[in-house]
Structure 1
Amino acid sequence: MSKAAYTKAALTYQQQLQQLKDRGLQIPDEDYLLHLLEVKSYYRLSGYWYPLLANKEKHEFKEGASFDTAYKIYCFDRELRHFVLAELEKIEVAIRAKMIYILSHRHGPFWYQKPELFKSYDRHQKLLDKLESEYHRSDEEFILAFNKKYTDSLPPSWMLLEVTSFGSLSVMYSNLKPGHEKRQIAKVFGLADTVFSSWIHSIVYLRNVCAHHSRLWNRAMSIQPIIPRRTYYPWLNNKAIDNNNSYFILAMLVYLMNRVKYENDVVERLNALFEKYPNIDPAAMGFPEDWTSEPVWNCNRL
């Protein structure tokens, strides 16, 4: 297929509204849609009315398609992202805490500076440059106090990793040489170290999707976590599942939360979200019909 230059002109809000009407979308409240086009943008909202199209090439809507349906999907997706971000924060904090504790006790407070602990010397040096940059950008009081009191170029891991991005932490764990400590950290979360490394990488991606307000509802994941052959704790009996959809990512989040927080209510709150938006089809997110019977969704105790 040959490429062509993009020639479409920008439309006014009123023209955008008229275009949707001309394509067959029912709009119960035109003033409200005009407001949404102003504060959210046509292009962002278009991802949620895409399933309502009968002809996706010509952008013609199915008979009876209503903007209200699309906007409910948008609202569900927004609440889903907020829900996921809140749980990811707890998981990230727990991963930081375990890495700091286990590696500091085995290799001292400055273990992250020791190249012999890492697989790739070049990746380690690039990471140290990134850590130093993050350290100097921080205005946390404990960082400023350390910098004023001590001559060390960088603080101990229990300080530094608190101001380090989760992306950097993911790279750090991935680059650790295979060994007892790497396996021990992963085992805390009920996984083999190769699977855990893959899941951390996916969490970084998922966090970025949510933080940048991108669509999560029926997203095909660009970064796909490894499907574990076995886990230490209840997981999914159905191994013939796709790992590139929202269902797998949410199951992964629930599995990790079951290790992080005693008697959590993650599954209950997710169910409540589906009940609040009955027009949402879980199958569009990769949920199988019998998903509620899978072990991971029925085990919320450490």
Structure 2
Amino acid sequence: MHIGILNNTFVLTSSPRFPLDQRAQGEHFLFIAMPKSPYTKPALSYNDQLQQLKFRNLVIDDDAKALFLLENISYYRLSGYWYPLLEQPKSAHQFKQGATFNQGFNLYCFDRKLRKLVNAELEKIEVAIRAKMIYILSFSHDAFWYTNANLFSNTVKHANTLKKLQEEYSRSREDFILAYKAKYTNALPPSWMIFEVASFGVLSGLYQNLKPGRDKRAVSRYFGLDSSTFESWIHGIVYIRNLCAHHSRLWNKMLSISPVLPNKTDKVWLSTTDIVNTVTGAKTSVNNKTYYVLSMIVYLLQTVNPNNTFKDKIISLLTKYPNVDVSAMGFTSGWPAEPLWQ
């Protein structure tokens, strides 16, 4: 047996290759709860934070700049970008020889620009999905199709969704919503109005809960996917949009919601979706990595915005930050030759 850590719990596993802090497929685990203790770390002044970094062997060329960044970004947020610079074991909090404050800050800058690029394209994709759902379902049924419980698999989930939409409708101060309330007696407005004030998470839930059938397939096929894959992808998009909205680290994140790999696509897609361990030969899927999210965006933009420059912007960003480890983002070794990325 071998010891690893999974979800903050010590784990005994049969595999010597069990990756720490990662989920493993096909493993048998014996979970041993880690002992808990009160949090006792004190708050540190900016100067004390700077001295702690120096004590841990981080090279700081400009104290004034470092103090400014600690004050305006925060030690804790930056620590996520210092993590790759730590020696093993990471728990010792000692930096590798020659690791610098600027290296961590450059990673932060790269990640911030990456999030902005991703968020801008996800907005276009989200708007397109809203538009297509509204059009197809409204023509098949009526303007208020989303209120029809017969169209949905789970009536309890549908009732909860309607409750959320009612709350959004009641809370909205948009001019078109106020004008509708003043003129009409309906409890809720038509789908093309309500979905302008509803979150994409609600829309994703509605699609997921739609009964299998022609309408659900028509929406997904427009984007070149089967309905189950599309359902998974839009759920993943909600998750990524939330990460970006909260300025969370994205570049090397292991996604807790992993969009599925499609069995078949109608448009150009990846030929390789595995990373091969050069030592063990083991294959790992990239669908819980940032590269997969970027590839999803490139795929969907073939429908949403065929003349987009997203690929060029990503490649340009990687060129500008050559020290970024693209393998940590899940990029496969041959990704530049992928037809999707050409």
Q: TM-score range by the shorter chain?
A: over 0.9
The partner residue of 2:127 within 79, 93, 112 is 93
- The amino acid of 1:245's aligned partner reads K
Alpha-carbon shift at residue 258 of structure 1 (Å) = 1.4
Determine if the alignment matches structure 1 residue 10 to structure 2 residue 54.
Answer: no
Paired with 1:151 and 1:3, the residues of 2 have a C-alpha distance of 56
C-alpha offsets along residues 31-80 of structure 1, whole Å, 9 cap, x if unaligned?
A: 11111111111010000011111141210011111111111000000000
Determine if the alignment matches structure 1 residue 113 to structure 2 residue 157.
Answer: no
User: TM-score if structure 2 supplies the norm length?
Assistant: 0.86
Paired with 1:113 and 1:6, the residues of 2 have a C-alpha distance of 48
The partner residue of 2:94 within 57, 60, 73 is 60
Percentage of matched positions with identical amino acids: 55
Alpha-carbon shift at residue 255 of structure 1 (Å) = 0.6
- Partner of 1:51 in structure 2? 84
C-alpha offsets along residues 191-236 of structure 1, whole Å, 9 cap, x if unaligned?
A: 0000000000000000000010000010000001011111111101
C-alpha offsets along residues 116-145 of structure 1, whole Å, 9 cap, x if unaligned?
A: 000000000000000010111111111110
Alpha-carbon shift at residue 168 of structure 1 (Å) = 0.2
**Structure having greater relative contact order (Cα 8 Å, sep ≥ 6):** 1
- Partner of 1:191 in structure 2? 225
The partner residue of 1:76 within 110, 123, 137 is 110
- Partner of 2:333 in structure 1? 289
- Partner of 2:62 in structure 1? 29
The partner residue of 1:276 within 304, 310, 320 is 320
2:272–2:332 CA contact under 8 A, matched in 1: no
Paired with 2:140 and 2:195, the residues of 1 have a C-alpha distance of 17
The partner residue of 2:248 within 204, 214, 235 is 214
Paired with 1:220 and 1:12, the residues of 2 have a C-alpha distance of 32
- Partner of 1:179 in structure 2? 213
- Partner of 2:167 in structure 1? 133
- The amino acid of 1:36's aligned partner reads L
**SS where residue 87 of structure 2 aligns?**
strand
Paired with 1:109 and 1:254, the residues of 2 have a C-alpha distance of 32
Determine if the alignment matches structure 1 residue 150 to structure 2 residue 184.
Answer: yes
Number of residue-to-residue matches in the alignment: 298
- Partner of 1:164 in structure 2? 198
Determine if the alignment matches structure 1 residue 260 to structure 2 residue 304.
Answer: yes
**SS where residue 57 of structure 1 aligns?**
helix
Paired with 2:110 and 2:45, the residues of 1 have a C-alpha distance of 27
Paired with 1:118 and 1:101, the residues of 2 have a C-alpha distance of 17
Paired with 1:18 and 1:60, the residues of 2 have a C-alpha distance of 13
**SS where residue 268 of structure 1 aligns?**
helix
Deviates more, 1:222-231 or 1:1-10: 1-10
Alpha-carbon shift at residue 295 of structure 1 (Å) = 2.2
**SS where residue 76 of structure 1 aligns?**
helix
**SS where residue 16 of structure 1 aligns?**
helix
- The amino acid of 2:301's aligned partner reads M
Matches within 5 A, 1:245-256: 245-256=289-300
- The amino acid of 1:288's aligned partner reads T
C-alpha offsets along residues 161-208 of structure 1, whole Å, 9 cap, x if unaligned?
A: 111100000000000000001000000100000000000000000000
- The amino acid of 2:218's aligned partner reads Q
**SS where residue 151 of structure 1 aligns?**
coil
2:290–2:329 CA contact under 8 A, matched in 1: yes
Paired with 2:182 and 2:148, the residues of 1 have a C-alpha distance of 24
- The amino acid of 1:143's aligned partner reads I
Paired with 1:215 and 1:148, the residues of 2 have a C-alpha distance of 44
- The amino acid of 1:235's aligned partner reads W
Paired with 2:184 and 2:254, the residues of 1 have a C-alpha distance of 48
Paired with 1:286 and 1:49, the residues of 2 have a C-alpha distance of 19
Deviates more, 1:100-109 or 1:250-259: 250-259
- The amino acid of 1:278's aligned partner reads P
Deviates more, 1:238-247 or 1:26-35: 238-247
Paired with 1:38 and 1:66, the residues of 2 have a C-alpha distance of 18
Paired with 2:296 and 2:330, the residues of 1 have a C-alpha distance of 13
Which has the larger share of helix? 1
